[in-house]
Amino acid sequence: MGQLKAHEVDGWLARPQAGVPIVLIYGPDRGLVSERARRFAEKSGVPLDDPFSVVRLDASELDKDSGRLVDEANTLPMFAGKRLLWVRNAAGQKALADDVKALCAAPPPDTTVLIEAGDLKKGVGLRSTVEAARQAIALPCYSDDARSVDTVIDDELSGAGLSIDPEARALLRRNLGGDRMATRAEVAKLALYALGQDRILVDDVRALTGDVSSISVDEAVDAILEGNLAAFDTAYSRQALGTSQAYAVLSALQRQLLSLQAMRAVMEREGGNPASAVAAARPPVFFARRKLVEQALARWPSRTLARILERLHETVLLTRRRPELAVAATHRMLMDIARDAARGGANR
């Protein structure tokens, strides 16, 4: 069987092919690995609540006892029927890879081996063994893309009898996708929050979802562009108390200014206006920020943006050389940019 492409996995799991006794589900998204393993187990035909039919094992235990997985797979069941060996937390364990290789060569009848693993390198160990076997299959699990996130959102909200506004969906999607289990938990929490409503709005998403440090970074950057000194000071202080410290705001503002610089260059070259530049931007500017970005484009010409980016670069170097000054130096420099914005770009 070998390996499926990432986009083929859900289709295969919907109708698992018979005659595949060894299934490896692996990837960096451990929540998605766990969810897909559960889906496969439920379709295996084995009663998951029967301790005689389902044997759950940890890969670290198997690594200490070479040959145990083979022995377990070839153990005759106490009662007739199919068996499922469910192995979790697999990685680079050599003993496990050797046992799986032996089982691929001589799979036991009426036993399915399901293995959950982390991110495995191509051509190495367990993954290589499964991909090369005729009676085994490897199913990769990578972080959700926008389409996958939308599927999870629709699945969770439709089950709760809820719909979601397009703007709220766009905002929610920005805060999701790193891990399938975390994504489902966030959407389920949102559905519970909106219990009694029939539709989720932007304010609902803002009230309940997203990482606090990530939100404070976005708030700090927007406050700088807007020239709102008080809002910047509050957002920056909240961020500076977090684990990512000042660099997160510097990095986020740098990305934003580079985007502004590219749009401004098009405006100056083609004689366009801020609204048309924002409308043509790729990736598109989030709807709630369009006016803010248009105002920044109108305020700062290319030469000013270049000067601000140079200051940012100098501050980044300073924070690396003198980490003890990072929070204070970054605050002072960003506050200067916010003051310039508040004055309408008077220093351009």
Strand partners, 56: 86
Q: How are strands ordered across the β-sheet holding 111-117?
A: 2-3, 136-140, 22-26, 111-117, 83-90, 54-58
Range from 58-72, 175-189, 201-215 carrying the lowest mean pLDDT: 201-215
Mean pLDDT over 32-38 rounds to 91
By DSSP bridging, strand 199-200 and strand 163-164 are parallel
% of the chain residues with pLDDT over 70: 91
Tokens of 104: 């691929």
Structure tokens at 337: 């940019």
Which has more pLDDT, 70 or 52?
70
Query: Does the model's pTM come out above 0.85?
Result: no
Average pLDDT for 46-60: 90
Residue 315: is its pLDDT beyond 80? yes
For the chain, the C-alpha Rg in angstroms (whole number) is: 26
Measure the N-to-C terminal CA separation of the chain; round to a whole number of Å.
63
Is the preceding omega at residue 274 within 30 degrees of 0, hence cis? no
Distances (CA, A) of 76 to 113, 257, 268: 15, 66, 77
Q: Would you put residue 12 in left (φ > 0), alpha (ψ -120 to 50) or beta?
A: alpha
Q: Which of the pair, 203 or 174, is modelled with greater confidence?
A: 203
From 84-93, 214-223, 243-252, 296-305, the region with the lowest mean pLDDT? 243-252
The answer for residues whose C-beta is within 8 angstroms of residue 301's C-beta and 6 or more apart is 264, 268, 348
3-state secondary structure of 48: coil
